[in-house]
Amino acid sequence: MFELLGIPPQALFGQLLLGLINGSFYALLSLGLAVIFGLLNIINFAHGAQYMMGAFVAWMLLNYLGVNYWWALLLVPIAVGLFGIVIERLLISRLYHLDHLYGLLLTFGLALIIQGLFRNQYGISGLPYQIPQQLAGGQNLGFMFLPNYRGWVIVASLVVCLATWFMIEKTKLGAYLRAATENPTLVGAFGINVPRLVTLTYGFGVALAAFAGVLAAPIYSVNPNMGADLIIVVFAVVVIGGMGSILGSIITGFGLGLIEGLTRVFYPEGSAVVIFVIMAIVLLVKPAGLFGRTA
């Protein structure tokens, strides 16, 4: 079949792999956006900037303090997540009684400020981040060559996405979160501290973005615009999956990464727009998104 279409299997699988890699980042980022939107009703436009911060903080830890990739993978989400918690307490929490639009404007402004600060300090040419030596090299699978690090990104993203899904859908803490998403007033009247839950949720969503940033550092160059470039696509992914749907954002993230990869094989000119075309179709046919609950 491949020969019929004139496409060698190496190219096909190569693009599918690339699609899965992109899908890993779409899934991690749209998952964080979905969790934040579900509980806070805020479209976190600073998500791309927080992803970029994840990559930069990993770079800084390595170059200024000699902290290696593996520690960065643990420490950076905590540090950037704490930064998110401060932002939520200081700024976002003042907007909950206002229209959603204000939250969007605030986080969009924050994104511009954060990106501007990093651009000012580090320029836009991009900084290199070495692949950790344990993951250098690759495997010859016969039909294609799989770089170890890329395989690791897919596995790590899948594990973190599924762990997040499990935490939200199957644990007591997740039950609090789902209940507070539906009816925060009643959950508060049961004696649960909803404002603290909201703060922790924002911090967690930001930490997911930072984790994706660390994963991305050795693949994409670390530069201040890396989040802004990606986040537009991620917003489309969130809209397609359905705002606030956890499993929806994971499946849609990986799925759209694959579709994008396939498009690059069969119709390269369309690969940049295919996700937006799908978004337009989904909005026409199922406005709440593929996995969204109609309100």
Partner 1 sequence: MAKAALLEKTTPHGAHAPLLAIRDLQAWYGESHVLHGVAFDVSEGEVVTLLGRNGAGKTTTLKAIMGIMTKRSGSVMFDGRETIELPARRIARLGIGFCPEERGIFSSLSVEENLMLPPQVRPGGLSVEQIFELFPNLRERLSSQGTKLSGGEQQMLAIARILRTGARLLLLDEPTEGLAPVIVQQIGRTIMRLKQEGFTIVLVEQNFRFAASVADRHYVVEQGRVIDTIPNEEIERNINKLHAYLGV
14 token code pair: 């190569």
Report the alpha-carbon distance of residue 145 to residue 275 in Å, rounded: 27
Considering only 31, 40, 187, 237, the residue that binds partner 1 (CB under 8 A) is 187
In the complex, minimum distance from the CB of residue 243 to partner 1, in angstroms, rounded to a whole number: 14
Query: In the complex with partner 1, which residue's Cβ is closer, 179 or 251?
Result: 179
In the complex, minimum distance from the CB of residue 169 to partner 1, in angstroms, rounded to a whole number: 9
Q: What is the DSSP letter of 286?
A: -
Q: Is 89 near partner 1 (CB under 8 A)?
A: no
Containing H/E element for 95?
A: none
Stretch that binds partner 1, among 70-78, 132-140, 181-189, 275-283 (CB under 8 A): 181-189
Q: Is 63 near partner 1 (CB under 8 A)?
A: no
3-state secondary structure of 139: strand
In the complex, minimum distance from the CB of residue 256 to partner 1, in angstroms, rounded to a whole number: 25
Q: Is 294 near partner 1 (CB under 8 A)?
A: no
Q: Measuring CA to CA, how many Å separate 172 from each of 52, 164, 169, 238, 244?
A: 32, 13, 9, 25, 19
Considering only 138, 147, 151, 188, the residue that binds partner 1 (CB under 8 A) is 188
Query: In the complex with partner 1, which residue's Cβ is closer, 50 or 245?
Result: 245
Is the separation of the CB atoms in 125 and 119 below 8 Å?
A: no
Question: Which of positions 189-218 make contact with partner 1 (CB under 8 A)?
Answer: 189-194
- Binding residues with partner 1: total (CB under 8 A): 18
Q: What is the DSSP letter of 130?
A: P
Q: Measuring CA to CA, how many Å separate 17 from each of 22, 158, 163, 201?
A: 9, 14, 23, 31
Helix axes 246-266, 9-40, angle to 10 degrees: 150
Q: Is 156 near partner 1 (CB under 8 A)?
A: no
Q: Is 183 near partner 1 (CB under 8 A)?
A: yes
Report the interface residues with partner 1, using CB under 8 A: 172, 175-176, 178-179, 181-183, 185-194
